[in-house]
Chains A and B, each alone.
Chain A
Amino acid sequence: MEMNFNQHISGQFNADLEAIRNHMMGMGGLVERQVANAIEAICSGDTRVADDVIRREDEVDKMEVTIDHECTQILVRRQPAASDLRMVLAVSRVVRDLERIGDEASKIAIHTLEVADNSSNQLCQQAMRYMGAEVVKMISGALDAFARHDVDGAIDVVRNDKLVDQQYASALRELITYMMEDPRSIGQAINILWILRAIERIGDHARNISEQVIYLVKGTDVRHSSLTEIEEQAHKE
């Protein structure tokens, strides 16, 4: 008997699993671009880019439904176990997080349009740009880790989420300072607040995706655990 544990006896099963993974990666790529574009839109104030992001949100939603359906099909037809089961569950969860990220990206785009009307210099430009770049990196890092079954890469993403949270807290303090200085800027500031909040949420979702990588590889569910706990689980043999 040829011992090749990478291949199932059923070639179709292999193909099905490969398909959901690829589709998830494709959706991840789209979502990552959406986020990058949304960030680009606020930073440059380019409403066409923002419009584009809002329009493509539909595509993300459809992808979620499709991939979820494919996962259901695999569950029904193959009754996967062990790593296959974890793969299907992880893909299903990751897809949900990706869809949420897509939502957040379109929220950013909507607020961008509102902010763009107000031509005054934007608040927290620096923070938004920085945090935005960070979360885009996180998304691609999480997806890479998923593709490579890379636990360490996933932990890096979790670690980065902490940084984003800290930046979010300091940006918030900055905004409060602005609002106290100039009550007229409150309207603007709230929009910015929403945008910052959305970016921070995207970071959280990227973290969730990384947690699924750890579930996929190690079989332990590390949702709602602290970073040290996650590290502990990830390096347990």
Chain B
Amino acid sequence: MSIIENHKTNGAAFCENPKLKARNVGVFYGEKQAIFDVSLDIGANEVIALIGPSGCGKSTFLRCLNRMNDTIDICHVSGEILLDGENIYDTKVDVVPLRARVGMVFQKPNPFPKSIYDNIAYGPRIHGLAHSRVDLDEIVEKSLQRAGLWNEVKDRLHSPGTGLSGGQQQRLCIARTIAVDPEVILMDEPCSALDPIATAKIEELIDELRENYTIAIVTHSMQQAARVSQRTAYFHLGQLIEVNPTDQVFTTPEHTLTEAYITGRFG
């Protein structure tokens, strides 16, 4: 299948009040180009869903937003990504504080093999966010409450985080991300390993988190994208095909490829 030539992103890729602005982003793995000229705004306090068939570059794009791709040697990013107007790929920018500002939740729940408390406290500790034990306790409690996990784990904060159920583990990971008080949360298929009830809880949580954070979520479940996001971006073979309000994408997509994908004609 050939790359669509002369492509132009359909719909509304830009928005008012953007938190993150991607401009002409290209990603290369060695010689191979994985992302082609993607320009996209992610608005403050919005949930944007990135969808598309496997290997379309949505996860790669997501990982550009907090420079997780830096950990891969051969990965190279062109173009600009601006967080509050500052290019995060600027040589002056230190990636460590950037990742504190743009947190990430992964596909598989990946709590550290430590206690629940230490899992949450790790971020604040390394960034020096707590001045005393009391501060730290407060951060841990607040983060767990925000993640809707406090009531379930408050009596066993010092038992291993890996002893929780899959859904709880994922909420623990979200709590761990919230604990460093990020501005943007990136979620890479956060529910793909969870059952429907755990998924529903996470989706509920995403909805609540929207008040305080900007969220970009990669998902393979179109229903999930439809449920949690305000805007949906459709990626295809490394190109951003369409960005539109979610309800529009799922009833009347503009681009044939989007239509074909969401109606299950390929993917």
A: residues with CB less than 8 A from B are 1, 3-10, 13, 78-86, 218-220
Give the complex CA separation of A83 and B258 in angstroms.
11
Known: A79-B223, A219-B251. A10 touches B264 (CB 8 A): yes
List the A residue with the shortest CB-CB distance to B252. Answer: A219
Partner of B252, one of A8, A80, A82: A82
Give the complex CA separation of A219 and B226 in angstroms.
17
Known: A10-B264, A219-B251. A82 touches B259 (CB 8 A): yes
Partner of A81, one of B1, B222, B256, B266: B222
Contact (Cβ within 8 A) A9 B251: no
A85 to chain B, nearest CB (A): 6
A221 to chain B, nearest CB (A): 10
Counting CB contacts under 8 A, is B111 at the interface? no
Contact (Cβ within 8 A) B250 A3: no
Known: A3-B1, A5-B259, A5-B260. A86 touches B251 (CB 8 A): yes
Give the complex CA separation of A85 and B249 in angstroms.
12
Contact (Cβ within 8 A) B250 A82: yes
Task: Give 1 or 0 for each of B246-267: 1 = CB within 8 Å of chain A CB.
Answer: 0001111100101110111111
Chain A's interface: helix, strand, loop or mixed, by majority? Answer: loop
Give the complex CA separation of A109 and B70 in angstroms.
78
| CB-CB nearest 3 A-B residue pairs | A219-B252, A5-B260, A81-B262
Contact (Cβ within 8 A) A7 B265: yes
Q: Given contact pairs A78-B264, A82-B258, enumerate 6 new A-B contacts (beta carbons under 8 Å).
A: A1-B266, A5-B256, A8-B264, A82-B252, A82-B259, A86-B252
Task: Give 1 or 0 for each of B179-203: 1 = CB within 8 Å of chain A CB.
Answer: 0000000000000000000000000
With most chain B CB atoms within 10 A of its CB, the pick from A5, A78, A80 is A5
Q: Residues of B contacting A5 with CB < 8 Å?
A: 256, 259-260, 265-266
26 contacts between A and B (CB under 8 A): A1-B1, A1-B266, A5-B256, A5-B265, A7-B265, A9-B264, A9-B265, A9-B267, A10-B264, A78-B264, A80-B263, A81-B226, A81-B250, A81-B262, A81-B263, A82-B249, A82-B250, A82-B252, A82-B253, A82-B259, A83-B259, A83-B263, A84-B264, A85-B250, A85-B251, A86-B252
Give the complex CA separation of A86 and B251 in angstroms.
7
Q: Residues of B contacting A1 with CB < 8 Å?
A: 1, 266
Give the complex CA separation of A82 and B253 in angstroms.
7
Question: Which chain B residues in 36-94 approach chain A with CB under 8 Å?
Answer: none
A66 to chain B, nearest CB (A): 24
List the B residue with the shortest CB-CB distance to A17. Answer: B263
Contact (Cβ within 8 A) A82 B266: no
B: residues with CB less than 8 A from A are 1, 222-223, 226, 249-253, 256, 258-260, 262-267
Q: Residues of A contacting B265 with CB < 8 Å?
A: 4-9
Q: Residues of A contacting B226 with CB < 8 Å?
A: 81
Q: Residues of B contacting A78 with CB < 8 Å?
A: 264
A181 to chain B, nearest CB (A): 55
With most chain B CB atoms within 10 A of its CB, the pick from A8, A79, A82 is A82
Give the complex CA separation of A78 and B266 in angstroms.
15
Q: Residues of B contacting A86 with CB < 8 Å?
A: 251-252
Known: A79-B223, A82-B250, A82-B251. A8 touches B263 (CB 8 A): yes
Partner of B262, one of A6, A7, A82: A82
Give the complex CA separation of A83 and B249 in angstroms.
11
B246 to chain A, nearest CB (A): 11
Q: Residues of A contacting B266 with CB < 8 Å?
A: 1, 3, 5, 9
With most chain A CB atoms within 10 A of its CB, the pick from B250, B253, B266 is B266
List the A residue with the shortest CB-CB distance to B223. Answer: A79
Q: Residues of A contacting B223 with CB < 8 Å?
A: 79
List the B residue with the shortest CB-CB distance to A84. Answer: B263
Q: Residues of A contacting B251 with CB < 8 Å?
A: 81-82, 85-86, 219
Give the complex CA separation of A218 and B223 in angstroms.
22
Q: Residues of B contacting A84 with CB < 8 Å?
A: 263-264
Give the complex CA separation of A149 and B149 in angstroms.
51
Give the complex CA separation of A69 and B252 in angstroms.
24
A84 to chain B, nearest CB (A): 5
Contact (Cβ within 8 A) A13 B264: yes
B18 to chain A, nearest CB (A): 27
